[in-house]
Structure formats: C-alpha cells, structure tokens
Amino acid sequence: MKDVLADATSDQVILATGGYDHSIRLWQAHSGLCQRTLQHADSQVNVLEITPDRQHIAAGGYQHIRTYDINSTNTNPVINYEGLGKNVTALGFHEDGLWMYSGGEDFSARIWDSRARAQTCQRVFETNAPVNCACLHPNQCELFIGDQSGSIYVWDLRTNHNEQLTLDLDVSVQHLDVDSSGQYMAAIDNKGMCYLFLLGSGSDTQMSSPERLLKFAAHKRYGLKCRFSYDSELLATSSADTTACVWKVSDLLASGEDSGPPERVVRRSSSQSSTSTRAWNVADILPMSKMTNTNQRWVWDIAFSYDAQFLITASSDTVARLWGVSPVEVKREYSGHQKALTALAFRDSA
C-alpha cells in the first residue's frame, strides 16, 4: 500500500462501491478508474462483502442478497438469495468461506451455506427489533448482532446459546466491530457515541464475556460505522456530520483507565429480563485524524487498508475517497455513481 496504492496493481486489490443508483462499481484502486459496473436492479445496495477467496462479492439490498463473480465479464448476479423480509443490513463470511451470515430489518440474523446449490437459510436468530449490524468473532464461533432497540446479542453458533446486553438507554446500535485479536469490540450509536468493550474469553470452549471499558463522543450527529484496523491499533468512525475520524486504540484505553476500572456488563439470556443499570465510564478525547471535505456528506461506510496508512470512505455525495491517515489528505477520488453511496468493500494485496 505504499506510494498511494501505486504498488496495488494486481487483481489482489479489490475496491467496490454501491448505493442508490442500483449499481456496484469495481475500481482500480491506485488510479481511480472504474473497471466494471455490475447491475443491482430493483434495489439500493445496503451492504457489500467480498468472499475470503476474493472470487465473489455479495450485496445486500431490499429483501434479497445477490452474489457476483468478480473476475467474470458477466455483470449480473450468479446467485440470488431470496425470501428475506425488508432490508438486508449486514453481511459477512466464515474465514474459510463455509457459510455466510446476514442481518436485516426483519428482526433476524441468518446463517447460509455458501457451498450448497440451494440458496436456503440454515439457521435463524430472532431479535426484538430490526437488526442494523452483525460481526463475526475471529474465533468463527460467535456472532455479535446489534439492533435498533440498543441491544447487542452474542450468539454462540456452537451451542445456539445467546446472551444479550444493553448498549445504553434510548439508543440504536448502528454498527459494531470486533478487532482481529478478538480482545475488543467497538459499537457506535445513533447519537454519535462510540463504545469500547473488553471481550474476555472468546475461546474455543467459552463465550466472550464483554466488559465495559468506556464510551466517548466520536461525533456530534448520527453515527454510521466503526471499524478497527487490521493490526488493532486504530479505530475509525463515521457519521452524518460529514466526517470520518481515526482514533488510537492505546489512547482510548488510557483514557478509559483514567476514568476508572472496567465494569462487567450485566447480561441476560433470552429467558431473563434484567438490564444493565450501571453507568459507563465516559472519556473526553480527540481523534488522531479527522477526514473532512467541503463536498462530503453523510459518510456511510469506511475501510482501512491492510497497513492502516489509508482509509477509504463512501459518502452520500456520490464519491468514494482514499485518504492518507497521517497526515490527513485525499489521495484519490472515485467518481461515477449517480446517486448516494451507502456501501463499500475493500481488500488489498496483503
């Protein structure tokens, strides 16, 4: 990823964007040129995810998931997953591509067999509110699910057991992410507050046991995304305030220590009704970097490069941007969409 993606000329680098113009564009990341446009008829693109083998890209829209062949000249989907209710808001894959997970506004998260000819759902987890986000733990055994009522569910795929915790009162969990080490989980809400958890165990035999570390005001308006860098050293957030911010995880942890020791979250299983009433440790901290542009609008999606030197943003001004993290600078713009961008997917050569 050196020299503004100048070395990223191979097929190993994949950048895709999608939004409200019913299309998915595949870009040459280092030059900013659009290589192909895929057709996503009858629906906006809510979420994009690249398969682990980098051969396909999955798109979640209204009442369906569609999978496209990245290396084919075919611009239409090769697999359609139908029978879903409302919008699909979350997608991801097992690290070996054995199965795919999804979440949506139909109050559910689902597991799909990626290898089966029949595109039928294998397992369903039902929530009490529309699902905004979902993230798989690096142990590949626990799915974290966030919904519009402020609940986060930890679904143990080994035992089908689940635990539920409340992020905070009167908020919606907009997005969550687990770092590559499986130590930390971040979440962002509809008020722009970001939360950091210590996950604890998360072993092959025991479920993760989240502990509250801190919450902080990442943005002044509606939060949209939060993502860790691959080395777990940085955390990026984005918002309706037209910005993306990058935070040093070590600074956040030090700020949390200054506020006091972490508190064990009061969890509940599906058969319990108690909720957490203890207060969060609140930190007052400034970001390491702030990505702002006069033309940029809501920043709907973000992705780090593997080396964390760059951040890619997708904005409702129809443009995706490649930013240098430090110093902050727009290195490339990816223009061509006709309507707002709401999703991106990125994999570089590492």
Q: What percent of the chain has pLDDT over 70?
A: 89
* Cross-strand partners of 188: 175, 194
CA–CA separation, 161 and 154 (whole Å): 8
Map residue 249 onto helix, strand or coil: helix
Q: Sheet with 108-113: list strands edge to edge.
A: 88-93, 99-104, 108-113, 121-126
User: Which helix or strand (DSSP H or E) is residue 251 part of?
Assistant: helix 249-259
Task: Give the residue-averaged pLDDT of 31-56.
Answer: 97
Q: What is the pLDDT confidence band of residue 272, given thresholds at 50, 70 and 90?
A: very low
Q: What is the pLDDT of residue 350?
A: 57
**Bridge pairing between strands 234-239 and 243-248:** antiparallel
Q: How crowded is residue 324: how many other Cβ atoms within 10 Å of its Cβ? A: 15
**What is the rounded average pLDDT of the residues 290-310?**
98
Q: Domain segments of the chain: what residues?
A: 13-125+336-349, 133-258+277-291
Report the alpha-carbon distance of residue 171 to residue 166 in Å, rounded. Answer: 9
Model confidence at 36, in pLDDT bands (50, 70, 90)? very high
Cα(143)–Cα(311) distance, integer angstroms = 25
Distance of alpha carbon 285 from alpha carbon 211, whole angstroms: 20
- Residue 55: pLDDT band with limits 50, 70, 90: very high
Q: For the residues 126-130, what does the mean pLDDT come to?
A: 98
13-125+336-349 and 133-258+277-291: same fold? yes
Among 246, 244, 231, 186, CA closest to 350: 231
- Amino acid (1-letter code) at residue 198: L
pLDDT score of 204: 67
Task: Answer with the residue of higher pLDDT: 169 or 38.
Answer: 38
pLDDT value, residue 259: 57
| Three-state DSSP state, 253 | helix
Nearest CA to 183 out of 200, 163, 165 is that of 200
Angstrom distance (rounded) from CA 68 to CA 87: 19
* β-pair type (162-166, 151-156): antiparallel
Domain 13-125+336-349 grouped into CATH 2.130.10.10: yes
Lowest mean pLDDT among 33-37, 129-133, 223-227, 267-271: 267-271
Under 8 Å CB-to-CB from 114, ≥6 apart: which residues?
Answer: 51, 93, 94, 97, 98, 99, 100
Q: Is the pLDDT score of 202 beyond 80?
A: no
For position 110, what pLDDT does the model report? 98
What number is the average pLDDT over the span 189-212? 88
Q: Which helix (H) or strand (E) holds 5?
A: helix 2-5
Q: What is the pLDDT of residue 263?
A: 47
Mean pLDDT of the chain: 91
pLDDT of residue 119: 80
Pick the more confident residue, 341 or 3: 341
CATH architecture of the domain formed by 133-258+277-291? 7 Propeller (2.130)
Q: Between residues 347 and 207, which one has the greater pLDDT? A: 347
pLDDT the model gives residue 40: 97
